[in-house]
Amino acid sequence: MKLEDALKTTRFKDAKHKASLNILYTSYWLKNHFSLAIKGHGITMEQFNVMRILKGKYPEQMCIKDIGSRMIEKSSNVPRIIDKLVLKKLVKRAVSKEDKRETLVALTDKGIAQLNEANTLIDALSERIMGLDDNDALILNDVLDKMRKED
């Protein structure tokens, strides 16, 4: 769907203004599709992101601060997300032996299984809705990286 159809307007200040709105709209569109795909697994996109971060370090544990620094949504309340994942028995928490003030987190076997299932759904959905071939995806990645060069 073209942005003009989604927003029901053709009035944009300039091409950069339209591009920024297009990125925002597409981000929410993609997140909504992903959220619906994993909803049946009882996890949110933020919980999914925490679990993917933990999987990247598995079987090692990670401290909450390091998890937070890798989050896509930087304003996420990581301790609250972890509390919910602990209640679902998808992650486990432990106190660091080196620093008693630090909490370490790791995936459980149940968490790994659930993450694998959710990843399968997300991968299939991405393949179906992205509408990009590998070359287009490479170009898009380069353009988005260029846009964030000041970050």
Q: What is the C-alpha separation between 107 and 110, in angstroms, rounded?
A: 8
Count, residues in the chain: 151
E strand or H helix at 91: strand 91-95
Q: Phi-psi bin for 65: left (phi > 0), alpha (psi -120 to 50), beta?
A: alpha
**Residue 151 confidence (pLDDT):** 67
Contact 40, 58 (CB under 8 A): no
Residue given tokens 């759904």 in the structure block: 121
CATH of domain 42-147: 1.10.10.10
**Residue 1 confidence (pLDDT):** 86
User: At a CB cut-off of 8 Å and minimum separation 6, what does 12 contact?
Assistant: 18, 21
CA atoms within 13 A on the CB side of 59: 1
Q: What is the C-alpha separation between 68 and 74, in angstroms, rounded?
A: 7
Domain ranges of the chain: 42-147
**Residue 75 confidence (pLDDT):** 84
User: Along the chain (151 residues), what's the average pLDDT of each consecutive run of 10 residues?
Assistant: 90 94 95 95 95 95 94 91 97 89 94 96 93 94 91 67
Residue given tokens 């992205």 in the structure block: 130
Residue given tokens 């299939």 in the structure block: 124
Position 132, amino acid:
L
- CA-based nearest residue to 118, from 45, 27, 41, 28: 41
pTM: 0.88
**Residue 99 confidence (pLDDT):** 83
